């Protein structure tokens, strides 16, 4: 499935944004309205949400194109994701184009409840694998109540915004039904501003082995899976992705995250390491020359 985003041009002086709907290749898509900004840089924000995951991507398809906001996961239900977004976005900016949930565990999706209550969401992306916890049920109820479009994605699906492409590289059908919910995580490869970034949820050994067998290639930025857990340490997989930058999203925990051997393996590959528990929210700004600037927010 290819979902193409088309954006309407609106003036910042308009009273409100006007969404339209268009028919697109192979799928129904959404036509959103945004304010233009001048830069074509892509911003990757790894949010400090405690012991959990949440990332905000802001990209553009051209100098005069609208900025697209994508939120991947929302951390636990502790109010931190909303606070982090408030520090990054304008107080009047209460719209997110896409919200993607890698998997339905509380430390990744609990905070999305708060986001769904206070932000307008263009579309919600997930794998379709449920979890019998109250937070998941509440989130889905809010999305349906707000008439948010929901798309179920699998390996091979792509989302395109001009030259920017988000490719779903996992899960396939086998991993989707893996007994370990972590291995069914939505894995997204983002290619924008001549930079590639890999967002891997909580995948463990089975998913990493599958990705290595399927020929996953090098990336510039890796969101380290499962907060740097020892369960997510397949050397062949790490050698395949060889990130220039590795980000560990982690908070105070009793699990030993991130494991010293995981930190060491990424460092041995030459990756520059960042940790949200040590540095807070981390912003990586990528330009078309593959230059990546790191900013502590």
The predicted-structure confidence for 261-273, as pLDDT tens digits, reads as follows: 999 999 999 999 9
Tell me the per-residue pLDDT of 178-231, one tens digit each, with 9 for 90 and over: 999 999 999 999 999 889 999 999 999 999 999 999 999 999 999 999 999 999
Q: Is 183 part of a structural domain of the chain?
A: yes
Each residue's pLDDT tens digit, 26-36: 233 333 333 34
Pairwise CA distance, residues 246 & 244, whole Å: 7
Mean pLDDT of 235-243: 96
Angle at 244 between CA 243 and CA 250, to 5 degrees: 70
Evaluate whether residue 283 is within a structural domain.
yes
pLDDT at 67: 84
Percentage above 70 pLDDT, the chain: 87
pLDDT tens for residues 86-101?
A: 999 998 899 999 999 9
Beta-carbon neighbour count of residue 288 at 10 Å?
Answer: 13
* Domain total in the chain: 1
Mean pLDDT of 132-155: 96
Distance CA 101, CA 148 (A): 14
Q: Is residue 296 situated within a structural domain?
A: no
Does residue 121 contact residue 94 with C-beta atoms inside 8 Å? no
| Torsion, Cα of 51, 272, 213, 227 (10° steps) | -10
Which residues contact residue 83 at a Cβ distance below 8 angstroms, ignoring those fewer than 6 apart? Answer: none
pTM reported for the whole predicted model: 0.88
294 inside domain: no
Q: What is the pLDDT at residue 297?
A: 67
Q: Is the pLDDT of residue 242 over 70?
A: yes
Tell me which DSSP letter residue 123 carries.
Answer: E
Place of tokens 């930079």: 195
CATH number of the domain bearing residue 7: 3.60.15.10
Provide the pLDDT confidence category of residue 104 given band limits of 50, 70 and 90.
very high
Beta strands in the chain (DSSP E): 2-4, 6-9, 23-24, 27-28, 31-34, 42-46, 55-59, 68-72, 95-100, 120-126, 149-152, 158-161, 164-170, 187-192, 195-199, 221-223, 245-248, 272-275, 282-286, 292-296
In the block, tokens 């994508």 appear at 70
> What's the chain's average pLDDT?
87
Residue 79 lies in a domain: yes
> Does residue 159 sit within a domain?
yes
* Predicted local confidence at residue 112, as pLDDT: 98
Q: Residue 152: which domain range?
A: 2-289
216 occurs within a structural domain: yes
């Amino acid at each position: 499935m290819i979902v193409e985003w088309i954006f309407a041009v609106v003036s910042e002086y308009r009273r409100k944004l006007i969404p339209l709907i268009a028919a697109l290749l192979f799928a129904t898509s959404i036509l959103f309205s945004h304010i233009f900004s001048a830069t074509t840089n892509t911003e990757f924000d790894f949010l400090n949400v405690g012991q959990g995951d949440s990332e905000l991507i802001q990209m553009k398809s051209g100098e005069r194109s609208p900025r697209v906001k994508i939120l991947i996961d929302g951390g636990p239900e502790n109010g931190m994701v909303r606070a982090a977004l408030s520090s990054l976005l304008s107080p009047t900016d209460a719209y997110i184009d896409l919200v993607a949930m890698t998997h339905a565990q509380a430390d990744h999706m609990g905070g999305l409840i708060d986001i769904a209550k206070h932000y307008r969401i263009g579309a919600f992306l997930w794998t379709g694998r449920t979890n019998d916890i109250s937070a998941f049920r509440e989130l889905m109820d809010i999305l349906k109540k707000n008439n948010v479009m929901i798309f179920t994605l699998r390996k091979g699906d792509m989302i395109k915004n001009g030259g920017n492409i988000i490719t779903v590289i996992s899960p396939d059908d086998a991993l989707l039904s893996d007994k370990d919910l972590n291995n069914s995580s939505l894995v997204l490869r983002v290619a924008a501003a001549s930079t590639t970034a890999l967002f891997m949820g909580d995948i463990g050994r089975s998913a990493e082995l599958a990705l290595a067998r399927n020929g996953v290639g090098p990336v510039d930025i890796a969101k380290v899976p499962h907060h740097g857990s020892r369960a997510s340490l397949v050397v062949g997989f790490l050698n395949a992705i060889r990130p220039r930058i590795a980000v560990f999203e982690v908070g105070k925990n009793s699990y030993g995250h991130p494991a010293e051997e995981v930190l060491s393996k990424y460092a041995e590959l030459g990756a520059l390491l960042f940790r949200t528990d040590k540095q807070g929210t981390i912003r990586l700004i990528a330009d078309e020359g593959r230059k990546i600037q790191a900013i502590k927010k």
